[in-house]
Structure 1
Amino acid sequence: MTVDAVLGVWRNVAMPLWSFFKDTRNVFKKDELGLEISQIALPAALALTADPIASLVDTAFIGHIGPVELAAVGVAIAIFNQVSKIAIFPLVSITTSFVAEEDTAVSLRGEAKEIEVMEMGPTVDDERDELIPKLGFTNKVSPTISSHIKLSEGRNQKRHVSSASSALVIGSVLGLIQALFLIFASEPILNYMGVKSDSPMLKPAQQYLILRSLGAPAVLLSLAMQGVFRGFKDTKTPLYATMVGDIANIILDPIFIFLFGMGVSGAAIAHVISQYIISLILMWRLMDQVYLLPPSVKDLQLGRFLKNGSLLLMRVIAATFCVTLAASLASRLGSTSMAAFQVCLQVWLATSLLADGLAVAGQAILASAFAKNDHDKVKATASRVLQMGLVLGLVLSVVVAIVLQFASGLFTKDVHVLRHLSLGIPFVAVTQPINSLAFVFDGINFGASDFAYSAYSMVSVAIVSILCLFVLFSSHGFVGIWVALSIFMSLRALAGCLRMGTRTGPWGFLKG
């Protein structure tokens, strides 16, 4: 291919994509769209970062026990996150899109029926006569108003949402399977991660992993419910529940770890208790809005969930395998390198997940807009969340670079671990804008229900990234791991750019 041909392809991709980054002066405009994004994104971002922050608190407490325990917990958390994300991410993402689409369809049918009634009036006088005394109106109230009130009341009552019921069933089953798998296969998995039978990390890592696994059913069920609330564009309820649970975790950590002398086991128990608290709060709130049991088994959308879930399962395995492989390679360098990698990784994930709040907002709004075929709102929403994501990433880059230079001592006092931390901090800081765009592009594609492209593109990205991990680890060790992870996130962002830039799939309307 000639240089002119390459430039031509690039222009065809870059020009449509550039249209999403125009009018950046409106990025924080407080219009209707801006307020809708903010009301969904801010609580979602805070809820998403709450769990990594709780893990950071665990890391800080355990770091004061010793570097071996810190490294052991780092490996155990990496394993738990790997297995959890395989189940959680497809479930939450699909639930958010399906619930948003179903809720929008119900609203559209309700609006159409309301317009019809307002134009034609009621057809059954008895219904009107029964409604008026119940509401305390006189017989002077018009039939149109009475019917309008009845329909409005009906939309505010509890309702059947089949996709929500399906998510709860699948989440419960997957949670039990995950708990059993991690409990009975903990030692072989740790051996695979580089923690051999003669390693001092094996015993504390196994203790933490087995106890933490007891909370897996609560984790998957609560996150399935979070997906339902996101589909309703309600991210405040999950935030409140997560905050209560994580505050409980922070309070219980020092009690179990130091006061009761339980060490890493105490940290795991505190975390499990917090997850069950979160799950119970969400269940209580969800029962007020929807019927948890569907009218019949036929109403469960299990086939639709499994079809799209298998695609996202492939995607998540590819994505999380790269991060887990990186953790495994770091553990092979010894407890010092693994301890430093654990701190850098937790900060990397916690800050990057702030952008995932924008991704959640984009997904929920776009799913509704696509259901209405409102392409103007689709383009406006995608443009706004991408611009916000880029600005957020640049701000995080500066904040992380400054804060980590002075806050490293909060995690450990070990001089060797601190030296390795100084090598990883620049990568954590510089990749923040890239990470933000990658997460936002994911949310945009999920909102468009573009699950197949998301899956296949991630597999391609993972293959290249895994090769980079092995090559760079062999030649540059700890630094090479972080260079490979930076390449991984860059390719994820590029994959999102290409889909929209080439105007294919659900973005074909941009050709018009």
Structure 2
Amino acid sequence: MFKLDELGSEIAQISIPAALALAADPVASLVDTAFIGRIGAVELAAVGVSIAVFNQLSKVAIYPLLSVTTSFVAEESASCKVSQNEKSNQEEEEEDLENKAGDGEVRQTREVERAFVSSGKSKEDGKVADTKMTKNKKAKMKYIPSVSSSMIVGLFLGILQTILLIFSAKYILNLMGVKSNSPMMAPAYKYLRLRAIGAPAILLSLAIQGVFRGFKDTKTPLYATVTGDLVNIILDAVFILGLRWGVSGAAISHVISQYLISLLLLLKLAKMVQFVPSSIHDLEFSRFLKCGFLLLARVIAVTFCVTLSASLAARHGPIPMAAFQICLQLWLSTSLLADGLAVAGQTILATAFAKGENDISVAASSRVLQLSTVLGLGLTLILGVFMEFGMAVFTKDPEVIKLVKISIPFVAGTQIINSMAFVFDGINFGASDYIYSAYSMETVAIVSVTCLFLLDHTLGFIGIWSALVIYITLRALAGIWRMGAACGPWSFLRHFDR
């Protein structure tokens, strides 16, 4: 599993930058929170509610957009390369035949030159025109429909989110418990409306990140994200501490950084592919939207399980809720590392399936699953020690710490299952198995929600975590069963001989 052969190097080159890029935003958010905390407790609480609203709305669109774009671009890019190779081989054969017949390439160039001379133009004009035609052909060959489709969908969803938040900010904040007479309403309302302006940039940049992932390039999104986050931190210091703009300064700095990330990615992408379609018919929205809606249903199912567990924990009082929040953040934050492997698996498998390379599909799946097991084991040890001795970082309340320590077997002990579940998601998306991914997750959600209500009623805090363990275990088993039963895109495994 640690062998740095061609496949191992490819997994490392994709997964490590992807994991770092995923970790960059949470780190920047922590710094952002520290700056806002210097304004006051009310402002910090208000911004916290606004960020929760913004992230929840964004998450519904981000996950399907990013996953579908990555798979489709990888497939179409691989198919494009195959067709280009076939065309190149054909052209070489034709060129050889023409050369044997009397240097056909020179004859073709001379015909172009003579045509331009006869029309009153020079031979040099003919050569330039011939060169331009060749360049135009190459440019057309680099057009990938999913690139344009994902960018248009991302931009549209971003504009839609901006309109929704600007005109419904007060209503949404009321639903979140921030009433009109609350001191949090004014700063929360101001921050949310300003932050909404950056929604088109966020969703457009994530669509482009999906494109780069499809090209197996996770370094470019990493560089762009880190640059944008650094600018965000610098502007926070200028706007909040220097100019005293308060929560408005925090929102404006974030918006500027997101548009900068989009611009950097867009400029880089413009050098690689032609993303402006020659005709609207070149766009393939139907397949893109169909798979996107399937993943949307899946995201809603996942979000509902986690949100319901938090709601049930809150009913037990502030101490159980505080302990649950700490444990949940630790439980979910480790998924960032597993997501790096999931991105690598998704990209490599999407390319392999498009080329019909079943041996690569099997090898890549095995390798990322092995690595996820090792990753999960390492996270179990790290989290187990940290939760036992390091809780003073989050709280000094002995009752909260006591509940956190009780949760160690559930949070730290399930890291191998967590890692496998997230990596299996990437594998299924790489195989474009979206229908199964959606329906299996909805089934898992129904069972998990039932367990949440039953176990919460009988076991309380421990029952909630027991139900979450059932949820993540069923999620991993759904991936194992699909591949193990050789169903759907994995049916070739029935006759596969390494």
Structure 2 length as normaliser, TM-score?
0.82
1:502 to 474, 485, 488: 485
Matched, 1:247 2:230: yes
Q: 1:198 to 1:92 in 2, by over 3 A?
A: same
Which residue of structure 2 lines up, in the alignment, with residue 306 of structure 1?
A: 289
Distance 1:34 1:155 in 2: 32
Matched, 1:320 2:307: no
Which residue of structure 2 lines up, in the alignment, with residue 53 of structure 1?
A: 27
Once the two structures are overlaid, the 10-residue window that deviates more, 331-340 or 352-361, is: 331-340
Q: 1:489 to 1:260 in 2, by over 3 A?
A: farther
Which residue of structure 1 lines up, in the alignment, with residue 86 of structure 2?
A: 112
SS in 1 for 2:274: coil
Q: CA deviation at 1:167?
A: 0.6
Which residue of structure 1 lines up, in the alignment, with residue 376 of structure 2?
A: 393
2:467 to 484, 490, 505: 484
Q: CA deviation at 1:253?
A: 4.0
Cα distance per residue 1:164-215 (max 9 Å; x no partner): 0111111000001112223333344444445566777666555544443332
Distance 1:459 1:184 in 2: 32
1:97 to 59, 65, 71: 71
Matches within 5 A, 1:441-460: 441-460=424-443
Which residue of structure 2 lines up, in the alignment, with residue 8 of structure 1?
A: none
1:288 to 240, 258, 271: 271
8 Å contact from structure 2 (residues 140, 274) kept in 1: no
8 Å contact from structure 1 (residues 114, 151) kept in 2: no
Q: CA deviation at 1:407?
A: 5.5
Once the two structures are overlaid, the 10-residue window that deviates more, 272-281 or 209-218, is: 209-218
Count of paired positions: 468
Matches within 5 A, 1:55-454: 55-59=29-33, 73-121=47-95, 124-126=105-107, 159-193=142-176, 205-257=188-240, 266-329=249-312, 342-403=325-386, 408-410=391-393, 427-454=410-437
Of structures 1 and 2, the one scoring higher in RCO (CA 8 A, sep 6+) is 1
8 Å contact from structure 1 (residues 37, 358) kept in 2: yes
8 Å contact from structure 1 (residues 68, 201) kept in 2: yes
Distance 1:130 1:89 in 2: 54
Distance 1:216 1:304 in 2: 24
Q: CA deviation at 1:84?
A: 1.2
SS in 2 for 1:430: coil
8 Å contact from structure 1 (residues 79, 324) kept in 2: no
SS in 2 for 1:56: helix
Q: 1:342 to 1:156 in 2, by over 3 A?
A: farther
Q: 1:192 to 1:325 in 2, by over 3 A?
A: farther
Question: Aligned Cα RMSD in Å?
Answer: 3.4
SS in 2 for 1:29: coil
Q: CA deviation at 1:349?
A: 3.2
Which residue of structure 2 lines up, in the alignment, with residue 140 of structure 1?
A: none
Q: CA deviation at 1:442?
A: 0.5
8 Å contact from structure 1 (residues 72, 202) kept in 2: yes
SS in 1 for 2:412: helix
Q: 1:209 to 1:180 in 2, by over 3 A?
A: same
- Among all aligned residue pairs of Structure 1 and Structure 2, give the percentage whose two residues are the same amino acid: 60
Structure 2 residue runs of 5 or longer lacking an equivalent are 97-103, 113-132
Cα distance per residue 1:13-67 (max 9 Å; x no partner): xxxxxxxxxxxxxx11011111111111111111122222323334455567777
Distance 2:307 2:4 in 1: 40
Once the two structures are overlaid, the 10-residue window that deviates more, 461-470 or 492-501, is: 461-470
Distance 2:466 2:187 in 1: 30
Which amino acid in structure 2 is aligned with residue 284 of structure 1? L
Structure 1 length as normaliser, TM-score?
0.80
Distance 2:107 2:478 in 1: 59
Which amino acid in structure 2 is aligned with residue 280 of structure 1? L
1:42 to 10, 16, 27: 16
8 Å contact from structure 1 (residues 63, 412) kept in 2: no
Q: 1:130 to 1:329 in 2, by over 3 A?
A: farther
Distance 1:291 1:284 in 2: 12
8 Å contact from structure 2 (residues 139, 273) kept in 1: no
Structure 1 residue runs of 5 or longer lacking an equivalent are 1-26, 132-149
Cα distance per residue 1:94-147 (max 9 Å; x no partner): 11111111111111111112222333425543457799xxxxxxxxxxxxxxxx
Q: Which has the larger radius of gyration?
A: 2
Distance 2:345 2:480 in 1: 15
Which amino acid in structure 1 is aligned with residue 368 of structure 2? V
Q: 1:265 to 1:422 in 2, by over 3 A?
A: farther
Once the two structures are overlaid, the 10-residue window that deviates more, 284-293 or 182-191, is: 182-191
Q: 1:423 to 1:315 in 2, by over 3 A?
A: same
Once the two structures are overlaid, the 10-residue window that deviates more, 279-288 or 446-455, is: 279-288
Distance 2:316 2:194 in 1: 26
Q: CA deviation at 1:249?
A: 2.8
Cα distance per residue 1:221-261 (max 9 Å; x no partner): 00000011111111110010011112223334455555555
Q: 1:487 to 1:183 in 2, by over 3 A?
A: farther
SS in 2 for 1:160: coil
